[in-house]
Structure 1
Amino acid sequence: MFKNFEEWVLQVPLSIRSDSLWEFVTYRYALFLSDLAWFDAEKIIKDSRGRGIAWQLVDSAGSIAANIEEGYGRGFGKDYSRFLRISLGSARETKGWYYRSRHVLEEQVVHHRMALIDEIIASLVIVAKQQRDK
């Protein structure tokens, strides 16, 4: 596993880093969060009460980047804005799943993930509005 965002970036394949979508910092954060959720789910799933949360967490975190990718692939404007809003919903859902996992994950991990999600949400709100207004 990686220790931080910078270390994580180094292991992302060049085919992803060389895509123009990589320039959208929020997309990078969404991919990073998806990987973090994957590893966090390993801890959560060990507690039988957390199994459902682990699956939901991985799905919702992965959906953030996936919707950014799909929307970006369709072009800019209102259609892209729609996908960014779907991504925003997934980010809010992911934040909720991290809150629910607080009984298993360390407090600092939950706070880190929620702060990262807050950055993603703030950016998605702005960019979705910009795209909608185009």
Structure 2
Amino acid sequence: MTYDNWLKAIPSEIINEPLWNMNLYRHALFPGKLARFDSSKLSQDRRTLRLSAQLYRATGKISSNIAEGYSMASGKDQAHFQVPMSSDTQYAIRNTKSEPTL
């Protein structure tokens, strides 16, 4: 799955949301989609079951932290959500690929 193909499949209900206008948010959702494929494969082997769950949670947190920070009014509140987002982003980058090939 490519980013462009994924974008074409996004429902209009999501695209019409103000948050969708943030390029960062769109790029945060995509690794979560890719991680679903990898997590499914990893969960089939009990040795990687915990890794599967961690990968799925970490990639899902990226976009949810952005969305939550987006809704905050003050810069201080927004900064609170940027720190966890950074660590989740680093984890996702290390543990996902551009194409799920497991």
Q: What TM bracket, shorter-length normalisation?
A: 0.7 to 0.9
Contact 2:31 2:92 in 1 (8 A): no
Structure 1 counterpart of 2:64, which letter?
A: A
Structure 2 counterpart of 1:19, which letter?
A: E
Contact 2:42 2:52 in 1 (8 A): yes
What TM-score results when the alignment is normalised by the length of structure 1? 0.66
Name the structure 1 match of 2:55: 57
The 3 A distance-change label for structure 1 pair 16 and 76 is farther
Name the structure 1 match of 2:29: 31
- Consecutive unaligned residues of structure 1, counting only runs of 5 or more, are 99-108, 114-134
- Give the 4+ runs in structure 1 shifted more than 6 A: none
CA distance in 1, matches of 2:86, 2:59: 11
CA distance in 2, matches of 1:12, 1:54: 24
CA distance in 2, matches of 1:13, 1:86: 28
For residues 62-81 of structure 1, what are the structure 2 equivalents within 5 Å?
62-81=60-79
Contact 2:42 2:51 in 1 (8 A): yes
What TM-score results when the alignment is normalised by the length of structure 2? 0.84
**Percentage of matched positions with identical amino acids:** 30
Instruction: Judge which range, 55-64 or 86-95, deviates more.
Output: 86-95
Structure with the bigger RCO (C-alpha within 8 Å, sep 6+) is 2
**By how many angstroms is 1:81 displaced?**
2.1
CA distance in 2, matches of 1:23, 1:62: 19
CA distance in 2, matches of 1:93, 1:62: 11
Q: Number of matched residues?
A: 99
**By how many angstroms is 1:76 displaced?**
4.8
The 3 A distance-change label for structure 1 pair 42 and 5 is same
Q: What are the Cα deviations for residues 100-134 of structure 1, in whole angstroms up to 9, with x where unaligned?
A: xxxxxxxxx63x37xxxxxxxxxxxxxxxxxxxxx
Structure 2 counterpart of 1:58, which letter?
A: Y
